[in-house]
Amino acid sequence: MRIFIALLVCTQAAAFSRRAPPTMSLLSKLRDLVKPNLPAPIKVGDAIPNVKVENVQHAYEDGYDPQEFVVDTASVLGGNKTVLFGLPGAFTPTCSDVHLSGYVREADRFADLGYDLFCTSESDRYVLGAWNRSLVDCCGLSNRNVRMLSDADAALTTALGLREDMGFGFGVRSKRFALALNDGVVTHVATDPGMDECLETSAASLLRVLDPRGAGASGDAAGVLAVAAAAALALLAFNPDLLDSLGNN
């Protein structure tokens, strides 16, 4: 019985440490979900599709009014090593608190591995610019390392086959994903379902794939604490007299 309790505690603590608080999943219950008509999802070995997006590279600067910088994805993502992560929408809780902010925090580690970071969303360039600037207030971060690509026409996410119906009030939009590329060819694909989860596509998870010897990103502090708490609870489960002995000291 004690073994069962210890395993249950460890499992729940680990799961909790990797999840953002669910806030939007109930919206998918208000109507039937639509399956968009898309090509097959991109896979390892595929080349990044060449479509036009808007480069909002300097939108973090105060007072900057983003102009229309149309670029080809084959050009900006086709050289050297790059990471492209996509998310359902700017200013949504998980996208702000976990997904984008996680990559901003870990940008130096990706740079050490030789990767340039790009974030895409189906939000327009003005929304992405405002969202990027808001990171200072919401997360205490100034982003100068993750380049923002506006895919307002959904040309990129459609070509990638990575769109999903997020439910009532949100509709079909970019799926949460993360791609690692080398010279424009995909070397790793990760996706998460819905708008709440950011597990496989997080900066910490991708770093564990790209740099397994350096596993355990600094942004995973919550996970470390949760595992430590689970270990302590497991120890107490196996040694119920330990708490009494500690209290007597």
How many residues are there in the chain?
249
> What backbone torsions phi and psi does residue 217 show, to the nearest 5 degrees?
-65, 155
How many angstroms from the chain centroid is the CA of residue 136? 18
Specify the amino acid at residue 119: C
| Cβ pair 166, 172 in contact under 8 A | yes
| Cβ pair 220, 204 in contact under 8 A | yes
Q: Which of 143, 126, 118, 103 is nearest to 48 (CA)?
A: 118
d(Cα 127, Cα 18) in Å, to the nearest integer?
Answer: 28
145: CB partners within 8 A, 6+ apart: 104, 107, 108, 111, 117
d(Cα 240, Cα 247) in Å, to the nearest integer?
Answer: 12
d(Cα 152, Cα 156) in Å, to the nearest integer?
Answer: 9
Verify whether residue 139 is a known catalytic residue.
no
Enter the tokens of residue 81.
Answer: 């090593």
The active-site residue out of 10, 95, 119, 198 is 95
Catalytic residues, which ones?
Answer: 95
